[in-house]
Amino acid sequence: MHKFTKALAAIGLAAVMSQSAMAENLKLGFLVKQPEEPWFQTEWKFADKAGKDLGFEVIKIAVPDGEKTLNAIDSLAASGAKGFVICTPDPKLGSAIVAKARGYDMKVIAVDDQFVNAKGKPMDTVPLVMMARLKLANVRVRNCIKRCRNVAGMSKKAR
């Protein structure tokens, strides 16, 4: 489910681009803080699929720290990207990320971690895509319990 959300973030970013940008070979960045993690590998895979399906190129960049994050935005701009999806290594980088993106007239969507400003307040001007992890975990636990009861032949009342 989470990988689907990430693909939707990429789709959403593509949708907010201007029509002139859509006429070009549209490039979008997908920046993640831990690219070695299978979770992020899967997200990149689904972003690539969304790109193929919708006709845009995904530029994948690892951003494990603040310096690499800001350099990645420079690289995306140099390559002609119109925006990016980012799972930031540090939400406190929010103001710097947004300022850098605005300087290049790039769109930004945050995933998983909401940006915060210098005062530590959430930056609600940046679109945020999050997965309700606790809710998802709750659903999984309930489904597991249900399956266990079915296997054991137990009803809800026979706890």
Please check whether residue 145 lies inside any domain of the structure.
no
Chain segment 75-88, per-residue pLDDT in tens: 999 999 999 999 99
Please check whether residue 38 lies inside any domain of the structure.
yes
What pTM, to 2 d.p., does this model score? 0.72
Write out the H or E segment, with its range, that includes residue 32: strand 27-32
Residue 12 has what pLDDT?
61
Answer with the residue of higher pLDDT: 43 or 30.
30
Total domains in the fold of the chain: 1
C-alpha–C-alpha distance, residues 73 and 53, integer Å? 25
Residue 87 has what pLDDT?
92
C-alpha–C-alpha distance, residues 74 and 158, integer Å? 61
Collapsing DSSP to helix, strand or coil, 25 comes out as coil
Please check whether residue 152 lies inside any domain of the structure.
no
Span 42-59, mean pLDDT? 88
Please check whether residue 156 lies inside any domain of the structure.
no
- List the domain range (segments joined by +) for residue 91: 2-131
Half-sphere exposure of 125 (CA within 13 A, CB side): 10
Please check whether residue 103 lies inside any domain of the structure.
yes
Answer with the residue of higher pLDDT: 129 or 159.
129
C-alpha–C-alpha distance, residues 44 and 83, integer Å? 16
